[in-house]
């Protein structure tokens, strides 16, 4: 596992790349939100992932999940945790110092089912 900081100039290119070829659409995601004023809560619990997009004009990171879009306005720092198998998590600190942790995993397979 390798954790690394993604520089702001790379955000759009990085997320366009992992959404298109990174296999995010075959993952499930859990989103945990942490902040001094908010406490710690789960915003989404192992929901099928659609992708992640950074829109520089509106300074918005959009995490697309099945039935839910998690919007992070004005992110100021992004770290990713990667392994040989691909992206494992994304940690985002927004302008209000709220941390959004997006954890990724392969969906659980039912007995007798094969992976897509």
Give the pLDDT mean for 10-24.
Answer: 85
Q: Give the pLDDT of residue 56.
A: 97
Overall pTM > 0.85: yes
The residue that leads in pLDDT, 103 or 115, is: 103
For the chain, how many helices (H) and strands (E)? 1, 8
For residue 113, is pLDDT > 60?
no
The yes or no reply on domain 2-105 and CATH 2.40.128 is no
Strand order in the sheet with 68-73: 2-6, 75-83, 86-94, 99-105, 28-35, 39-55, 60-65, 68-73
Domain boundaries along the sequence of the chain: 2-105
Report whether pLDDT(82) > 80: yes
12-27 mean pLDDT: 83
């Amino acid at each position: 596992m390798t954790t690394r900081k993604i520089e702001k100039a790379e955000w759009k290119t990085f997320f366009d790349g992992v959404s298109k070829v990174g296999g995010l659409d075959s993952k499930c995601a859990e989103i945990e939100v942490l902040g001094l004023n908010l406490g710690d809560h789960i915003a989404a619990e192992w929901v099928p992932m659609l992708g992640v997009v950074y829109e520089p004009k509106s300074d918005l990171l959009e995490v697309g999940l099945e039935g839910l879009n998690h919007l992070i306005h004005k992110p100021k720092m992004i770290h990713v945790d990667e392994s040989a198998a691909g992206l494992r998590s994304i940690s985002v600190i927004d302008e209000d110092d709220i941390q959004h942790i997006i954890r990724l995993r392969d969906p659980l397979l039912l007995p007798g089912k094969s992976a897509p």
